[in-house]
Structure 1
Amino acid sequence: MALPVYASPLERVWYFARLTICALIFLFLISPILVVIPLSFNAEPYFTFTEKMLAFDPEGYSLRWYDMLLTHPGVPTDVPRDASWWAQVWNEAQWVNAAKNSVIIGFFSTIVATVLGTVAALGLSRAEMPYRKAVMAILISPMIVPIIITATGLFFFYSNPCSVLTWTGLEADSCGRLAGTYLGVVLAHATLGIPFVIITVTATLSGFDHSLTRAAASLGANPTTTFFKVTMPLILPGVISGALFAFVTSFDEVVVVLFVAAHDQQTIPRQMWNGIREQISPAILSVATILVIVSIALLATVELLRRRSDKLRGVTGR
Structure 2
Amino acid sequence: MRKFPEYFTFWHIAGHYSLRFSAYLVLVFLMLPILVIVPLSFNAEPFFTFTEGMLSLDPDAFSLRWYQAIAHDQKWTLAIWNSFVVGIAAAILATGLGTLAAVGLASPWMPFKRLITALLLSPMIVPLIIIAAGMFFFYTSFNLVSTYPGLIIAHAALGVPFVIITVTATLTGFDRSLFSAGLSLGASPTKVFFDVVIPIIRPGVISGGLFAFVTSFDEVVLVLFLAGPEQRTIPRQMFSGLREQINPTILAVATLLVLLSIALLATLELLRRRSERLRGTSD
Give the alignment's TM-score, normalised by structure 1: 0.86
Please say if residues 3 and 12 of structure 1, whose CA atoms lie closer than 8 Å, have aligned partners that are also in contact: no
Structure 2 CA distance for partners of 1:106 and 1:226, relative to 1, 3 Å: same
Once the two structures are TM-superposed, the CA of residue 58 in structure 1 deviates from its matched residue by 0.8
SS in 1 for 2:229: coil
Structure 2 distance, partners of 1:34, 1:104, is 27
Q: 1:156-171, aligned counterparts within 5 Å?
A: 156-160=137-141
The alignment status of 1:292 with 2:258, answered yes or no, reads yes
Structure 2 distance, partners of 1:187, 1:245, is 16
The answer for the alignment partner of 2:60 in structure 1 is 59
The alignment status of 1:213 with 2:179, answered yes or no, reads yes
The alignment status of 1:146 with 2:127, answered yes or no, reads yes
Query: What amino acid does structure 1 have at the position aligned with 2:86?
Result: I
Structure 1 distance, partners of 2:137, 2:171, is 36
The answer for the alignment partner of 2:42 in structure 1 is 41
Question: 1 or 2 for the larger relative contact order (CA 8 Å, sep ≥6)?
Answer: 2
The answer for the alignment partner of 2:106 in structure 1 is 125
1:115 aligns with one of 96, 104, 124: 96
Q: CA RMSD in A?
A: 1.2
The more displaced of 253-262 and 215-224 is 215-224
Once the two structures are TM-superposed, the CA of residue 145 in structure 1 deviates from its matched residue by 1.0
Unaligned runs of 5+ in 1: 73-92, 161-175
SS in 2 for 1:264: helix
Q: 1:73-112, aligned counterparts within 5 Å?
A: 93-112=74-93
The alignment status of 1:266 with 2:232, answered yes or no, reads yes
Query: What amino acid does structure 2 have at the position aligned with 1:47?
Result: F
Once the two structures are TM-superposed, the CA of residue 138 in structure 1 deviates from its matched residue by 0.5
Structure 2 distance, partners of 1:225, 1:268, is 40
Deviations 1:272-296 (A, max 9, x none): 1110111111100000000010011
Count of residue correspondences: 281
SS in 1 for 2:107: coil
Query: What amino acid does structure 1 have at the position aligned with 2:11?
Result: L
> Sequence identity, in percent?
56
Structure 1 distance, partners of 2:27, 2:262, is 15
The alignment status of 1:276 with 2:242, answered yes or no, reads yes
The more displaced of 208-217 and 177-186 is 208-217
Please say if residues 254 and 269 of structure 1, whose CA atoms lie closer than 8 Å, have aligned partners that are also in contact: yes
Please say if residues 116 and 194 of structure 1, whose CA atoms lie closer than 8 Å, have aligned partners that are also in contact: yes
Once the two structures are TM-superposed, the CA of residue 134 in structure 1 deviates from its matched residue by 0.8
Greater helix share, structure number: 2
Runs of 4 or more above 6 Å deviation: none
The answer for the alignment partner of 1:17 in structure 2 is 18
Query: What amino acid does structure 1 have at the position aligned with 2:19?
Result: R
The answer for the alignment partner of 1:250 in structure 2 is 216
Please say if residues 3 and 15 of structure 1, whose CA atoms lie closer than 8 Å, have aligned partners that are also in contact: no
SS in 1 for 2:108: coil
SS in 2 for 1:56: coil
The answer for the alignment partner of 1:308 in structure 2 is 274
Structure 1 distance, partners of 2:17, 2:176, is 43
Deviations 1:132-173 (A, max 9, x none): 11111110111111111111110010112xxxxxxxxxxxxx
The answer for the alignment partner of 1:71 in structure 2 is 72
Structure 1 distance, partners of 2:131, 2:269, is 29
Once the two structures are TM-superposed, the CA of residue 209 in structure 1 deviates from its matched residue by 1.3
Structure 2 CA distance for partners of 1:190 and 1:3, relative to 1, 3 Å: farther
Structure 1 distance, partners of 2:4, 2:204, is 34
Structure 2 distance, partners of 1:227, 1:185, is 30
Give the alignment's TM-score, normalised by structure 2: 0.96
Structure 2 distance, partners of 1:234, 1:246, is 20
Structure 1 distance, partners of 2:5, 2:60, is 52
The alignment status of 1:178 with 2:144, answered yes or no, reads yes
Unaligned runs of 5+ in 2: none
Once the two structures are TM-superposed, the CA of residue 5 in structure 1 deviates from its matched residue by 4.0
Once the two structures are TM-superposed, the CA of residue 115 in structure 1 deviates from its matched residue by 0.3
The alignment status of 1:195 with 2:176, answered yes or no, reads no
